[in-house]
């Protein structure tokens, strides 16, 4: 389930719906803006656009405000200039930490905590990837080093990072239109072509992190047991894909989370890529398979075949071809999805938070099924 910003902007949501319409029209040329708005509302967990608008109105001004002393400490440590306004939260905490906006005399900055990054890192590997990608033409917010030259600084008990503010529209939503999908393919191929070395495949994509099977998880979480049971065929397919035998091609250091939520439309509809903190090793075929499943599959399981084809063509345009195409290209996707499902259930159990519970219910009823992966593979095979 998509998460609304702490202080949502209705114009940004209208822009998201307009961007989403392009993807819907790839499969259904008769789709309307009203269809896109309803689809977007459902992705945020609301029954229709009016309900989403009402929630936006309710949340106006709801962002948290950081201690001014913390804002000044961050600005001083990263040489951002004098603080000129309150440091406000952008969204609920995610798996890494929380994102904030900080205004100073030199502009607006995207700052965030990264306490949840595992294994802990000084940020140097992903900054090296960002710098190489930017040199190769990928548009991204510039990472900022502190006055001491560090990417990550511990300030008042938390680990902090800073990036330039992404002057762009809101994050994209699946299914994404063919033009943007083609650009994503070109970005993937560009990053893969850098061939930055990785000594291993990211554990999130290669290892099931929760030892419980789905039946055991349902027993542990009886509130969601009926939904886990209803999704049993889909979850079993994820298990089958994630345990496929065979050795993939060697991993390279990649973005590792190139999903619509980490990409925005900038000037002249250029894609602006954020979320590089997740960077790690993956075989190129795995990250390509993951991109297909996130960019060309809508949350209801429908596949935008036009968008999928465009993404593959964009990749081949830059790389001169595709990495190995087979069912095994979705192995990392399936493993990460299984880890995400189990992790979200465990999170909801631990917090008892109503939002986390709704998110689990939405997730379990909107997983890509076997048919979606089969369609993507058929498109990739041409």
Band (300; pLDDT cuts 50, 70, 90): confident
Q: How confident is the model at residue 301 (pLDDT cuts 50, 70, 90)?
A: confident
- Using the Cα atoms of residue 153, residue 157, residue 163 and residue 164 in order, give the sign of their dihedral: negative
* 190-203 residue pLDDT tens: 999 999 999 999 99
Q: Within its chain, how far is the Cα of 26 from the centroid?
A: 22
When mean pLDDT is compared over 77-81, 206-210, 354-358, the highest value belongs to 77-81
pLDDT, averaged across the chain: 96
Share of the chain above pLDDT 90, in %: 92
pLDDT value at residue 44: 95
- Asked whether the CA dihedral 161, 165, 170, 175 is positive or negative, the reply is negative
Average pLDDT over every residue of 35-57: 96
User: Can you give the pLDDT at residue 95?
Assistant: 87
pLDDT tens digits along 85-141: 999 999 999 889 999 999 999 999 999 999 988 778 899 999 999 999 999 999 999
Q: Residue 155: beta bridge partners?
A: 158
Q: Which of 52-61, 178-187, 312-321 has the lowest mean pLDDT?
A: 52-61
Closest Cα to residue 258, out of 239, 238, 284, 234? 284
The predicted structure's pLDDT at residue 289: 98
Domain boundaries 178-381, corresponding CATH code: 3.90.1200.10
- 247 Cβ contact list (under 8 Å, min separation 6): none
What CATH code would you report for 68-164? 3.30.200.20
CB contact at 8 A, 270 and 139: yes
Long-range contacts of 18-21 (CB under 8 A, 24+ apart): 19/169, 19/172, 19/173, 19/176, 19/177, 19/180, 19/265, 20/172, 20/173, 20/175, 20/176
Give the contacts of 71 (CB within 8 A, at least 6 positions apart): 83, 86, 87, 102
**pTM score, two decimals?**
0.95
Domain with CATH 3.30.200.20 in the chain: 68-164
**For residue 299, pLDDT beyond 90:** no
Q: Give residue 353's pLDDT.
A: 86
Q: What is the pLDDT of residues 53-93, one digit of tens each?
A: 999 999 998 899 999 999 999 999 999 999 999 999 999 99
In this structure, what are the phi and psi dihedrals at residue 368, rounded to the nearest 5 degrees?
A: -65, 130
How confident is the model over 285-298, as pLDDT tens digits?
A: 999 999 999 999 99
Mean pLDDT of the 7-11 span: 93
Number of neighbouring beta carbons within 10 Å of residue 105:
10
Measured CA distances, 74 to 127, 244, 250 (Å):
19, 46, 39
pLDDT tier, 247 (very low <50, low <70, confident <90, very high otherwise): confident
- What's the average model confidence in pLDDT over 258-276? 95
Domain with CATH 3.90.1200.10 in the chain: 178-381
């Amino acid at each position: 389930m998509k998460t609304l910003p702490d202080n949502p902007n209705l114009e940004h949501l209208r822009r998201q719906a307009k961007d989403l319409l392009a993807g819907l029209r790839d499969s259904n040329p008769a789709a309307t803006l009203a269809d896109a708005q309803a689809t977007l509302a459902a992705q945020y967990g609301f029954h229709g656009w009016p309900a989403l608008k009402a929630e936006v109105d309710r949340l106006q001004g709801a962002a948290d405000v950081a201690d001014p002393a913390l804002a000044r400490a961050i600005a001083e440590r990263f040489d951002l200039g004098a603080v000129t306004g309150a440091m406000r939260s952008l969204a609920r905490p995610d798996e890494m930490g929380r994102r904030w906006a900080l205004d100073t005399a030199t502009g607006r900055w995207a700052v965030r905590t990264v306490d949840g990054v595992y294994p802990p890192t000084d940020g140097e590997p992903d900054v090296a990837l960002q710098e190489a990608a930017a040199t190769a033409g990928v548009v991204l917010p510039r990472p900022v080093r502190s006055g001491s030259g560090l990417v990550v600084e511990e300030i008042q008990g938390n680990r902090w990072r800073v990036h330039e503010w992404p002057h762009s529209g809101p994050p994209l939503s699946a299914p994404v239109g063919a033009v943007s999908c083609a650009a994503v393919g070109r970005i993937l191929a560009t990053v893969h072509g850098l061939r930055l070395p990785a000594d291993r495949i990211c554990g999130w994509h290669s290892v099931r992190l929760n030892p419980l099977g789905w039946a055991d998880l349902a027993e542990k979480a009886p509130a969601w047991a009926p939904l886990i049971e209803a999704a049993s065929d889909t979850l079993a397919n994820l298990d089958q894909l994630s345990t496929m035998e065979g050795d993939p091609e060697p991993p390279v250091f990649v973005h590792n989370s190139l999903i619509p939520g980490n990409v925005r439309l900038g000037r002249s509809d250029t894609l602006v890529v954020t979320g590089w903190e997740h960077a790690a090793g993956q075989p190129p075929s795995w990250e390509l398979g993951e991109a297909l499943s996130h960019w060309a599959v809508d949350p209801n399981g429908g596949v935008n075949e036009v968008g999928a084809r465009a993404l593959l063509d964009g990749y081949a345009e830059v790389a001169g071809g595709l990495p190995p195409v087979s069912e095994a290209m979705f192995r990392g996707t399936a493993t990460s999805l299984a880890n995400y499902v189990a992790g979200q259930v465990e999170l909801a159990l631990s917090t008892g938070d109503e939002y986390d519970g709704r998110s689990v219910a939405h997730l379990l009823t909107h997983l890509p099924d076997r048919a979606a992966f089969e369609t993507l593979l058929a498109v990739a095979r041409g």
